[in-house]
Amino acid sequence: MQIANIELRNRPLMLAPMEDITDPSFRYMCKKFGADLMYTEFISSDGLIREGRKSVEKLDIFDYERPVGIQLYGHVIDSMIDAARLAENSGPELIDLNYGCPVKKISNRGAGSGMFRNIPLMTDMTEQIVNNTSLPVTVKTRLGWDENNKPIVEVAERLQDAGIKAITIHGRTRSQMYRGVADWKLIGEVKNNQRMKIPVIGNGDIDSPEKAKEMFDRYGVDGIMIGRASVGRPWIFSEIRHYLDTGELLPPLSLHEKSQIAKEHFLKSLERKGEKVGILQMRRHFVAYFKGLVNFKETRLKLLTSLDPAEIFRIIDSIPGKYRETISQYGTGSLI
């Protein structure tokens, strides 16, 4: 698959941009396990042009994670153009426009999936950003605003005409948030629309190798983007790639292997964010890494309250000998 001049392997797997999740430490882990293209956390155009600390920090990208895209959101064209120029200076491979975030404080202002309430603005903004950056511009979006407003087939055509080089579609409307089941039929309609010449990437509910292969085979999408299923399970990229390439499922990871991965992720978080922030940002990941352990409540509480890195490492080291899992998950075998 190719996005402008960016060459990716056939049937690539991409890491979705997720706020407070896809920071450099998590991207490091996902790249290690085979993510083909990754994105930063989404960045507010207003925050970026005002040099807000959190927004500027999200521009940090590293050579090991390439190719990587910086995702921007906003509802004012001039601000988005200025933000795209600032993002370009950080040296990503592409700029991605967020027309899909369903969070009220974003969408109700007309940004994110709120763009579906003003499609002419969406297409005008896209075209102007394309014309004001030398990087390829892509879009991540949804099916529409609600069940009665799902114009994604037409919108995808208009965005392609505006100059984007690829489109990622999450198979839900804004009103669904993350509830219900992602509708891949409409994603397939976009892909099979004879007017569409750019890559179409599907997103939504991909949580197993079998499901990824089914979506590739049934709807013909060019790539698949994985979001929530990668949290606490960055090895999902290796699971899916192995299954796509061989038709075989890898054996499950042992709890020891998961603990080693969690420790490596934690170490990277400390390196990138410092002790205080590195610990706080890992807490949601710790919950996800060790989900499904029997009688884990007391240890979970310690992981979520300790502010001592050494103690946290000791807690993680103790987990394989003390607990067992109640649910089975796919794994990558010995990849550590």
Where is the domain boundary, 205, 225, 246? 246
- CB-based contact 255:325 (threshold 8 Å): yes
Q: Are strands 2-3 and 167-170 parallel, antiparallel or unpaired?
A: unpaired
- Classify residue 334: in a domain, yes or no: no
Q: How far is CA 151 from CA 127, 146, 147, 177, in A?
A: 19, 10, 10, 17
Please pick, among 38, 68, 86, 101, the residue that the annotation labels catalytic: 101
- Classify residue 64: in a domain, yes or no: yes
The CATH number that applies at residue 229 is 3.20.20.70
Which pLDDT score is estimated for 331? 43
pTM for this predicted structure: 0.90
**Residue 313, token pair as written in the block:** 């490492």
Residues 241 and 296 in one domain: no
Residues 40 and 81 in one domain: yes
Residues 33 and 156 in one domain: yes
Other beta carbons within 10 Å of 56? 15
Which pLDDT score is estimated for 334? 37
Interval 242-286: pLDDT, tens? 999 999 999 999 999 999 999 999 999 999 999 999 999 999 999
Q: How far is CA 181 from CA 170, 171, 187, 199, in A?
A: 11, 8, 13, 23
Residue 326's pLDDT band, with cuts at 50, 70 and 90, is low
What 3-state DSSP class applies to 18? coil
Please tell me the total count of domains within the chain.
2
Residues 12 and 132 in one domain: yes
Residues 308 and 228 in one domain: no
Full residue range of the structural domain in which residue 291 is found = 255-322
Has 30 been annotated as catalytic? no
User: Residue 290: pLDDT above 90?
Assistant: yes
Where is the domain boundary, 246, 266, 298? 246
Residues 180 and 270 in one domain: no
- Classify residue 335: in a domain, yes or no: no
Residues 155 and 297 in one domain: no
Residues 132 and 210 in one domain: yes
- Classify residue 281: in a domain, yes or no: yes
**Residue 55, token pair as written in the block:** 């927004």
Residues 242 and 259 in one domain: no
| Eight-class DSSP state of 226 | E
- Classify residue 332: in a domain, yes or no: no
Beta bridge partners of 70: 95
User: Residue 330: pLDDT above 50?
Assistant: no
Where is the domain boundary, 206, 224, 246? 246
When the pLDDT of each residue in the chain is averaged and rounded to a whole number, the result is 93
How large is the average pLDDT for residues 177-197? 95
- Classify residue 333: in a domain, yes or no: no
- Classify residue 88: in a domain, yes or no: yes
Residues 290 and 213 in one domain: no
- Classify residue 330: in a domain, yes or no: no
Residues 282 and 137 in one domain: no
Interval 22-78: pLDDT, tens? 999 999 999 999 999 999 999 999 999 998 888 998 999 999 999 999 999 999 999
Residues 78 and 200 in one domain: yes
